């Protein structure tokens, strides 16, 4: 019997909590944004509610957090202005398994959502260009944002691939996993520390070293 799973030709990776812990930038980096939101709220949210919202900022875009936690327009604006200026200026190392990417024969692509300056500084700090063929920022602070689904569609079209010939690897069930599933791209959730497991992903891994065992990956040469 032959394996009916198509060979994987291209793998799309997320960044935060997939290739690197989002908190590796240093919690103090986000503090300016958190304080700006707190001050602009004038007590709209209690401290416990604010802390829950700030915890979500490490796993979700700020606009998503603002809607989910009931920020006022002033709170979102204050946080937006602070986060749009943020930049990582120190080296980052990721989860320690980035070299496993070089073992994959597929075209390796990054699509990360967030503020452009911050996400591009993370890409530089991690030196991801040595591991990935293409990197894209789904910039939430720019007009005509494509979103993860739009980027995935564009990447498939540019490479002339069917959804079954690609793979999406990331942590977030509401972002890249949902976008991949909606397009029929097989999805892999990275179960890094503190990442809640989602059964919406087709496959689950704890380390990038496990990727070759995902059906279709080892044959994608």
Q: Over the stretch 105-155, which tens digit does the pLDDT of each residue have?
A: 999 999 999 999 999 999 999 999 999 999 999 999 999 899 999 999 999
Return d(Cα 184, Cα 16) in angstroms, integer: 23
Question: Which residues of the chain does CATH 3.40.50.1000 include?
Answer: 10-20+92-213
Percent of the chain with pLDDT over 90: 93
Q: What is the pLDDT of residues 74-102, one digit of tens each?
A: 999 999 999 999 999 999 999 999 999 99
Q: pTM of the prediction?
A: 0.93
Tell me: pLDDT of 1 over 60: no
Architecture in CATH for domain 10-20+92-213? 3-Layer(aba) Sandwich (3.40)
Q: Could you give the residue ranges of the DSSP H alpha helices within 16-146?
A: 27-41, 47-56, 62-69, 73-84, 116-125
Instruction: Give residue 218's pLDDT.
Output: 83
Using CA atoms, how far apart are residues 96 and 100, in angstroms rounded to an integer?
Answer: 9
Comparing 5 with 181, the larger pLDDT belongs to 181
Q: Quick one: which of 75, 73, 88 has its CA closest to 30? A: 88
Rounded to the nearest integer, the mean pLDDT of the chain is 95
Rounded mean pLDDT, 183-206: 97
* Angle between helices 47-56 and 62-69 in degrees, nearest 10: 150
């Amino acid at each position: 019997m032959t394996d009916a799973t198509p060979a994987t030709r291209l793998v799309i990776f997320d960044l935060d909590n997939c290739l690197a812990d989002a908190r590796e930038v240093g919690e103090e980096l986000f503090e300016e944004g958190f304080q700006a939101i707190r001050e602009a709220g004038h007590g709209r949210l209690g401290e416990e509610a604010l802390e829950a919202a700030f915890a979500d900022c490490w796993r979700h875009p700020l606009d998503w957090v603002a809607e989910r936690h009931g920020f006022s327009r002033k709170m979102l604006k204050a946080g937006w202005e602070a986060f749009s200026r943020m930049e990582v200026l120190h080296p980052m190392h990721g989860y320690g398994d980035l070299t496993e990417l070089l073992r994959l024969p597929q075209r390796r692509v990054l699509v990360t959502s967030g503020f452009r300056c911050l996400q591009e500084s993370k890409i530089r700090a991690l030196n991801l260009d040595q591991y990935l063929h293409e990197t894209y920022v789904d910039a939430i602070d720019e007009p005509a944002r494509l979103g993860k689904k739009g980027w995935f569609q564009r990447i498939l079209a540019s490479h002339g691939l069917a959804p079954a010939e690609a793979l999406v690897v990331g942590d977030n069930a509401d972002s890249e996993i949902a976008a991949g599933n909606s397009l029929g791209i097989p999805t892999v959730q990275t179960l890094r520390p503190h990442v809640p497991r989602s059964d919406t992903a087709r496959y689950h891994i704890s380390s990038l070293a496990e990727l070759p065992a995902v059906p279709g990956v080892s044959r994608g040469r």
